[in-house]
Structure 1
Amino acid sequence: MTSRMTQAERRASTRAALLVAGRRLFAERGYDDVAAEEIVTAAGVSRGALYHHFDGKAGLFEAVFVEIEAELVANFPLEELVGGDPFAALRSGVSRFLDLSLQNEVQRIALIDAPAVLGWTRWHQIEADHGLGLIRAGLDAAVAAKQIKDLPTEDLANALLGSLTESALAVARAENREAAHRRAEQVLVALLDGLSTDR
């Protein structure tokens, strides 16, 4: 029993070391400029461990991307989106999301490299799995509170996720990211305000 626990702990430690090393290197230089050998050296593990845990560099990259997406979603507590003022939470969430998209690892890994490395279909599926449900819950709460127009929230959530993602991509690729961030926030908040029942 003890030896099995030790083996399980070793596996978890090896996996964690690969995630940390891969995340740092992918954020610093991008997927294409990082060799698998660099990752295993930085993680202090064998090349076989990379293939055992992630089936290679691409599998590790996907796991890193999923980890970042989960952390992004954790910045938007569900109770805030469905609480007393869901529309205000949606509006402030736009600014918070764009702020987070200025982080180097979010830009490089989640917004720039992920669509190319994983392909658009897989990238969009992961984005939808993490962010779409959260957006829809906020929209459902805002409709129930009669703060926004009673539109189909599934379709509306897809439209908002697309707008947020494309805006964040534009910010990530802009020469002046701070200015692009301000413009994107202004446009996205205006889009949300257009849904308000007060207008």
Structure 2
Amino acid sequence: MECFGVSSAQNLQALSALLSSQQEDEEDEESKNVTSFARMDPGHIGPPLKKENKVSTAYVKKSSKDIWSEEEVAEGSQYDDLADPRPQPEYEIILKQSVGTEDLFLGLNGKDPSSMCCEAILVKIKLPDTKATDVVLDVKEKFLDLRTPKYKLGLHLPHPVHSRGGKAQFFSEREELEVTLLVKRPMDFIYIQ
């Protein structure tokens, strides 16, 4: 069995020689005034890393017929209509959550104030000088498309929704459309009530 003192002294000398040779190579004008112990960090221990040229996987085609990869295409960009000059109306997105006293005071259902516990999204859209018959509304899983003769709104939703489970109501006195959409949560099968 080796003596601990001799072995550790030899290891320290070898480490010191290794660190001093690397530091001499990397030394610059700013670090000349700093002591050698202040310049040491864990990155100086061991042999220098070899730099390899890695090819980014985002630009590697998976098939010879692919023009671009899925990462290069912005989500929902197929719904954007840049040639339409109509202005976008004012809107507000409100996340809704049904909370009872057992949730508020006792925390029995495990709900928290985060958006992951919300059951619905309410979108309030102000449409001045518009009648309810002029509104054309199309809801996809992650996109709301609203068209009127004066306005257009292409809204990317913050969470996926059930496209068929929502409701829309137009309030002519406020000139406002309220669209309530049910959120499609990843753990819905657990929260069935």
**TM-score band, normalised by shorter chain:** under 0.3
**TM-score, normalised via structure 2 length:** 0.20
Answer 1 or 2: higher relative contact order, Cα 8 Å, separation at least 6: 1
Greater Cα radius of gyration, structure 1 or 2:
2
Q: Which has the higher helix share?
A: 1
Q: Which has the higher strand share?
A: 2
